[in-house]
Amino acid sequence: MTEQLNPSTSRPLLEVRGLCSEYLTAAGSIPALRGADLNISAGEKVALVGESGSGKSTLSHALIGLLPENARLTDGTIRYGGEDITRWSDRQFRSLRGARIGLIPQDPTVSLNPVRTIGHQVMEAIRAHRRMSKAAARQQAQQLLDQAGIDRPAVRLRQYPHQLSGGMRQRVLIAIAIAGDPDLLIADEPTSALDATVQRRILDHLDDLAAARGTAVLLVTHDLGVAADRADRILVMSGGQIVESGTAAEVLASPQDAYTRQLVASAPGLTEPAWAPAPLPEEPEVLLRAEGLCRSFTLPARRGEPRQSVRAVDGVSFSLARGETLALVGESGSGKSTTAKLALGLEKPDAGTLLFDGQDITALRRGEWRQLRRRAQLIYQNPYASLDPRFSIEQIITEPLDAFAVGTTAQRRDTAAHLLDRVALPSHALGRKPVELSGGQRQRVAIARALALAPDLVVCDEPVSALDVSVQAQVLELLAELQRDQGLTYLFITHDLAVVRHLAHRVAVMRAGRIVEEGPTAALFEHPQHSYTQELLGAISGRQAPLHIAEVTA
């Protein structure tokens, strides 16, 4: 199985030539792949980069015969290990999947069966291709979990998916993927649902594992930074075709295709953006001051144990000047989202005080709380969930105006059109429904809604983490521009330091409910004091890239 030790002299392990596919829908057929070519040698690490809709998932699924019902291959060939597998039946593909090609699926939260133990699922993968007693399979499952970097594998085998964290579940999926000892691993956005630090640890581990076993890896990702860190070769995909291919250094240093150039320009870890954060006002005036905020939550009672509570926010203090951006950075569970809710008055603190523009907003009555809403607004993480699917874009944007009965209907309509223009969307989008817009466009609508009441403070709760990297850059640029023009104050919540590098004036790093380090962005990036900040910085994708764009252009 592993006789092809020297990749340069042997035939490619996987060879895709001019692959075309289309999706059949009621409206006709929509092409997904238009002549994609792909070569992977044994033991090679190849990254397939592209935005959602570029056909990268279709390509990776075609390799293992897992295309959806309404998709079909129209042209081209796929050869794996010398065999033509293009027209294989499902039965034939079954002998390939798991045993010779392993797949690490995208979303660890939904890719495991919630009613089966981890052990059952790993053993199922082992026994699918080899006859083996249960005891032997259990033994091997334990080894696999251990190799995938899971602590106490014997205990984990008896646990259910919901008892593990997201990163842990992704490791289980890796263990399942390597169970059949395949020659090729397809990793389909394996970490995009995870925190930056966890993402890094898992990708590191995957690298080591693949290197140790001599497995080839096809890493499918939308993040050029991740690809540059991890892969020997990068293939950039756009519109169903491979538009660029080369070593990581080549692609980053001299991108040939226009689309690749755009991707390189928008990867936050790789390049300096063309815009800068708004300059701070000369005499900063404090808009929001938090002192010693605490908030605990009681956990659901477990049998035989006393009720426990967890301190989500534990003595957090910060101050935010008008026109400034403060980034709160930390991983999930660090209390950053709770802090944001406290700052907006959406949650009541157990202790501590909050001053908004000099006014104590710690304990507001209902009417006052509603008035505060006119001055402090929130942008949610997921634009796919934060907009009512039944509303038109106009209704969404005018909702806050309706809530406070600002102006006449005609005036509200004008305001909505104006706001839409501010967020660079065409005015004919007013009559559309959220479903008709892309993720980035929806987030722009959400931003327009937050700005409708001309607030002083806008709290952004991971506003770009649900978006593609290139779209992230556009939305961040928009936020910076709005700040410059309107003197907005941002409290920016994120798990990824790369995102705030060029937007935030100051960064506060949170861990376990406390702020562990705070300082001006540049200083924090140059001289991180706390070990956790250093870890976060190390997790920025693109940092391990063979060379930085800045060095290339210099």
Partner 1 sequence: MTQIAAPSALKPELPGTDPSEPRPEPATLQTVPGRPDRGGRERSPAQGQAGRTRRWLRRPGLLLSALFLLLVLTAAFAPGVLAPGDPYTGDSSQALQPPGTAHWFGTDHLGRDLYTRVVHGTSLSLRTALIAVVIALISGGIFGVAAGFLGGWIDQAIMRVVDVLLAIPSLLLSLALISALGFGSTNVAIAVALGSVATFARIARSQSLRVCQSTFVEASRSLGSRWHTTLRRHVLPNAAGPILALAVLEFGMAILAVSALSFLGYGAPRPAPEWGSLVSEGRNYMAAAGWLTTLPGLVIAATVLSINRLAHALGGERRRF
- Answer for which of 30, 276, 301, 522 binds partner 1 (CB under 8 A) is 30
- Answer for which of 207, 350, 399, 477 binds partner 1 (CB under 8 A) is 399
* Window 31-70: residues binding partner 1 (CB under 8 A): 51-54
Is 384 a binder of partner 1 (CB under 8 A)? yes
What string of DSSP letters covers 478-542?
Answer: HHHHHHHHH--EEEEEES-HHHHTTT-SEEEEEETTEEEEEEEHHHHHHS--SHHHHHHHHTSTT
Q: Which is nearer to partner 1, 428 or 527 (CB)?
A: 428
Residue in this structure with the two tokens 């060379």, named with its chain if needed: 547
Q: Which is nearer to partner 1, 147 or 386 (CB)?
A: 386
Is 439 a binder of partner 1 (CB under 8 A)? yes
State how far the Cα of 435 lies from the Cα of 387, in Å rounded to an integer: 10
Q: Which is nearer to partner 1, 4 or 106 (CB)?
A: 106
β-bridge partners, 377: 458
Is 449 a binder of partner 1 (CB under 8 A)? yes
Phi, psi angle pair for 411, to nearest 5°? -65, -40
- Answer for which of 404, 485, 487, 523 binds partner 1 (CB under 8 A) is 404
State how far the Cα of 186 lies from the Cα of 96, in Å rounded to an integer: 13
Identify residue 534 by its one-letter amino acid code: Q
State how far the Cα of 521 lies from the Cα of 500, in Å rounded to an integer: 8
Pairing of strands 14-25, 28-40: antiparallel
Instruction: Region of 357 please: left (phi>0), alpha (psi -120 to 50) or beta.
Output: left
Region near partner 1 per CB under 8 A, out of 38-46, 173-181, 283-291, 445-453: 445-453
Is 466 a binder of partner 1 (CB under 8 A)? yes
Is 274 a binder of partner 1 (CB under 8 A)? no
Binding mask 315-354 for partner 1 (x = CB under 8 A): -----------------------------x-x--------
- Distance in Å, CB of 54 to partner 1, minimum: 7
Q: Is the dihedral of CA 389, 391, 396, 400 positive or negative?
A: negative
Q: Which is nearer to partner 1, 145 or 328 (CB)?
A: 328
- Distance in Å, CB of 464 to partner 1, minimum: 12
Beta strands, E only, 12-93: 14-25, 28-40, 45-49, 71-80, 83-84
Q: Specify whether the CB–CB gap between 349 and 313 falls below 8 A.
A: yes
Region near partner 1 per CB under 8 A, out of 92-100, 204-212, 394-402, 532-540: 394-402
- Answer for which of 434, 463, 513, 528 binds partner 1 (CB under 8 A) is 434
Is 451 a binder of partner 1 (CB under 8 A)? no
* Window 409-428: residues binding partner 1 (CB under 8 A): 424-426, 428
Is 385 a binder of partner 1 (CB under 8 A)? yes
Q: Which is nearer to partner 1, 355 or 453 (CB)?
A: 453
Is 279 a binder of partner 1 (CB under 8 A)? no
Q: What is the DSSP letter of 232?
A: S
Q: Specify whether the CB–CB gap between 447 and 423 falls below 8 A.
A: yes
Q: How many residues bind partner 1 (CB under 8 A)?
A: 58
State how far the Cα of 60 lies from the Cα of 222, in Å rounded to an integer: 14
Q: Specify whether the CB–CB gap between 312 and 349 falls below 8 A.
A: no
Residues in contact with partner 1 by the rule CB under 8 A: 25-28, 30, 51-54, 106-107, 262, 344, 346, 370, 373-374, 377-378, 380, 382, 384-390, 399-400, 402-404, 424-426, 428-429, 432-441, 444, 446, 449, 453, 466-468, 470-471, 474
